[in-house]
Chain A
């Protein structure tokens, strides 16, 4: 029996040697496959197929990186879909080597890359497992981005620092309520327990911006993070019924306090101010940061998603701006939005449009410039500067 096996083995080896000579062709075929997956992840008309191809690439470790680079070189980095960058960022870091790390670093450093914040998250999630000196370089890179104007970029940079045991990263001052909740949720997902009060506060947030219920969305995000972290201790039935919201919040607060040992306060319900806003502008920019402006018919202009900053414009200035705004010819196709966008919404007259970078009509750009000057003169320099920055991105070219 042993002799037979030896003969078979010899025969198998003899046959295999010529086959092994053909191995490089197999490698080429594999490379071609990665190229095909990149092509599918970037161009398939079906969202689900793009998502699946992105996942496959992300699970491929360093191997698909050359194909991804080739595709970006041919078509432009901003033609890469968010799904691909997200999939790589969130994939199991153990599957990835230096090529993925270098790719994520390069993407995160490109201020014009739409999905740089997702790349930053990928770096943050890999930082703790990175050996020195790369780890120290990452720590320095995170620190440089702690105050990036784009909220997701600075949130992910702070996440990276926190996961590298920077004790101050998670407690830095943060004006954007979305960033406060996201950082706490991400840290919980990584097994770190940050101060939980921002998550509890979000559960009672009902604020909106021009019809967008962002407060409720924050609440849902906070609840999902708490639910995953609480596990068996999650106190709500059916996965989290908020039919009786005060009771649900009380139960969640008790469970979170018991598990974390933190002293948590019942959240104060937050709703929109009674001020009747009549219009607003929403600028979502991964490059320059988001800008939110709302105003009343009387010329009170509020800045921030939570309308925290107010500038009161003189009556004659506001009247002039209102008349000019009513005459703006807005509508129709205002560019193809991929990532950054500007939304203009007001009445009267009824206007609700979405604008892509470089597509804001000249008359609207002039009006926005006038608004920026008016709020600056009213003492709101930050908002004026933000509006001007947005103009450089959105004004028609």
Chain B
């Protein structure tokens, strides 16, 4: 009985599988500053998620990066991604990587909500990216 209880506790403490999230959900609404986010989006705050998309540098350049934008489309001319079409990803401290071509799958903790700088919203989705595959 005690053994079973300990086992259940251990199982409960194991990290759960990341929730698979798509841009169809993240970007499936017209975002305006200050709006109440749809519940299917707001409920993802502080969840560990997996999102597939394209890596893009915040500023064009070359060399390894510690931060990147995850977006839904490879083609930059296909319309500027809106704030709800971008996940701002940060790799762990000290970790950098080369920008990968094609679709990547990023897993980590997602933070949902407006972040302001200089009085304007600069981010809606941020992620502490643990893995990029």
Contacts and interface: CB of A to CB of B under 8 A. Distances in A.
Interface of A: 45-49, 51-52, 81-83, 86-87, 114-115, 117-118, 152, 210-213, 216-217, 219-220, 223-224, 227-228, 238-240, 242, 282, 284, 286, 290, 333, 336-339, 341, 343, 345, 352-354
B77 A114 contact: yes
Given A45-B59, A47-B69, A48-B83, 9 more contacts: A86-B80, A117-B77, A152-B78, A210-B102, A219-B24, A224-B28, A238-B38, A337-B76, A352-B100
Interface string B39-83: 110000000000010000011111000000100111111111001
A118 B77 contact: yes
A48 B123 contact: yes
Contacts of A290: 75
B117 interface: yes
Contacts of B23: 217, 220
B17 interface: no
8 contacts: A47-B88, A52-B121, A210-B102, A213-B52, A223-B28, A345-B102, A352-B102, A354-B99
B61 A336 contact: yes
Contacts of B62: 333, 336
Contacts of B102: 210-212, 343, 345, 352
Q: Which of B59, B80, B83, B102 has the most CB of A within 10 A?
A: B80
Given A216-B24, A238-B39, A336-B61, A82 B29 contact: no
A240 B23 CA distance: 13
B91 interface: no
B101 interface: yes
Contact of B103 (A211, A228, A341): A211
B53 to A, nearest CB: 10
Contacts, number: 108
Interface size, B (range):
35 or more
A79 B30 CA distance: 28
A51 B101 contact: no
Q: Which of A48, A117, A211, A341 has the most CB of B within 10 A?
A: A48
Given A46-B122, A216-B24, A217-B73, A51 B78 contact: no
A184 to B, nearest CB: 16
B112 interface: no
A188 B100 CA distance: 36
Interface string B101-133: 111000000000001011011110000000000
Contact of B120 (A49, A83, A212, A353): A49
A107 B120 CA distance: 28
A383 B72 CA distance: 27
Contacts of A46: 58, 117, 122
